[in-house]
Homo-oligomer: A and B are copies of this chain.
Amino acid sequence: MTQKFTMDTSSTGECRRRTPDIETVREIGSRCSNWARWGADDQLGTLNNVTPANVVAAASLIRTGRVMSLSVPFGSGGPQHPGSGRFNPIHLMSVDGRDFMAGSGTPEERDRRRGYLQNADDILILPLQAATQWDGLAHVFFEQQMYNGYSASYVTSSGAQRNAITGAVDKIVGRGVLLDLPAVKGTSSLDPGYAIGAQDLEDACTDQGVTVGPGDFVLIRTGAMARVRERGEWADYAGGDAPGLGLDSADWLHERDIAGVATDTWALEVVPSETPDVSQPLHIIFIVHMGLWLGEIFDLEELARTCHEQARHEFFFAAQPLKVTGGIGSPINPLAVF
């Protein structure tokens, strides 16, 4: 079922195809580039596509008041593997309930000593890319440059001095669209290694009676999370072969002036990459050239069921990041509101 991306390189009308490589990435990147489109100082990329009118229009999609979270749990049972440089969130209590259940004196005496206040507090240690997340525009560089031509040297041990996540704190609200690919294809989930192309996205729009346009947040379901639930473990969800966006999807997404795209997979793009010599080519094209906001590890299962029940694949979407100074990405709890 794996679809192979090839490129028509014919200038004579004869169709010849070659394996995509770094040159392919450069060509698509160049074609889809948004550098300087919103000014030399821009640090928001495709979030510029969201207008106040988009937000108002999106509000009209709130009709039943049903709200759902698209987040996986942030905890020790998450998808990350040790040794990858990422780890699952570590949640620790600096004070807990049982701290108040013993000690010297009677409970009454202890209560009086502390003015009756008993409070628990907790601490979280997490990679900002640990679970459901946005990749910010300082997350990926290509040849030492990031989105809009900023040097990678702006991202030091102190964080991102350009393209930080903080610019997006009030920008990720608008219309959400679900493209449920397995539903279109009559399967429960796409196969690992399946590269989603333009026609797949087009088919999904047609089948689900939805259009994708400027300022939209496009959520693409591959069914990978359903597989995780089915087998009862994450297994190689993080880093293993997975379905995802393919090189052929880039122009389609670029032309529609969307604001962001997210999937229910770890990498968003297909794994293994279609380019033998380039690792994660779409992270380069999307983040560096397009300034496109990528969401990963979204749980789209309940959303898909709701879209089918309500027979509509559009909804109000709010997935604002935390305002982390110098942040490269952010853990999020994306909401869909119907």
> Which A residues lie at the B interface, using CB under 8 A?
22, 25, 51-56, 58-60, 62-69, 71-77, 80-83, 85-103, 107, 111-112, 114-129, 132, 138-144, 146, 151-160, 166, 169-171, 173, 273, 277-281, 283-284, 316, 318, 320-329, 331-333, 335, 337
Q: Count this chain's copies in the assembly.
A: 4
**Quick check: B328 and A122 within 8 Å, CB to CB?**
yes
Q: Across the interface, which residues of B come within 8 angstroms of A119, CB to CB?
A: 139-141, 280, 283
**Quick check: A102 and B153 within 8 Å, CB to CB?**
yes
Q: Across the interface, which residues of B come within 8 angstroms of A323, CB to CB?
A: 69, 71-74, 132, 333
**Quick check: B97 and A156 within 8 Å, CB to CB?**
yes
**Quick check: A53 and B75 within 8 Å, CB to CB?**
no
Output the nearest chain B residue to A336 by Cβ-Cβ distance: B170
Output the nearest chain B residue to A335 by Cβ-Cβ distance: B320
| Known interface pairs A56-B63, A115-B279; 14 further A-B residue pairs with C-beta atoms within 8 A, sorted by A's residue number | A53-B65, A56-B64, A59-B60, A67-B173, A75-B326, A85-B121, A87-B87, A94-B157, A97-B141, A98-B156, A99-B157, A117-B280, A157-B157, A318-B318
**Quick check: A75 and B324 within 8 Å, CB to CB?**
yes
Contact A100/B64 with A82-B82, A92-B123 known, Cβ cut-off 8 Å: no
Contact A116/B142 with A83-B77, A99-B156, A328-B122 known, Cβ cut-off 8 Å: yes
Pick from B281, B321, B328: contact of A121, CB below 8 A: B328
**Quick check: A120 and B139 within 8 Å, CB to CB?**
yes
**Quick check: A94 and B92 within 8 Å, CB to CB?**
yes
Q: Across the interface, which residues of B come within 8 angstroms of A335, CB to CB?
A: 170, 173, 318, 320
Pick from B54, B143, B332: contact of A65, CB below 8 A: B54
Contact A65/B52 with A118-B142, A129-B121 known, Cβ cut-off 8 Å: yes
**Quick check: B173 and A337 within 8 Å, CB to CB?**
yes
Pick from B52, B101, B117: contact of A101, CB below 8 A: B101
Q: Across the interface, which residues of B come within 8 angstroms of A75, CB to CB?
A: 324-326
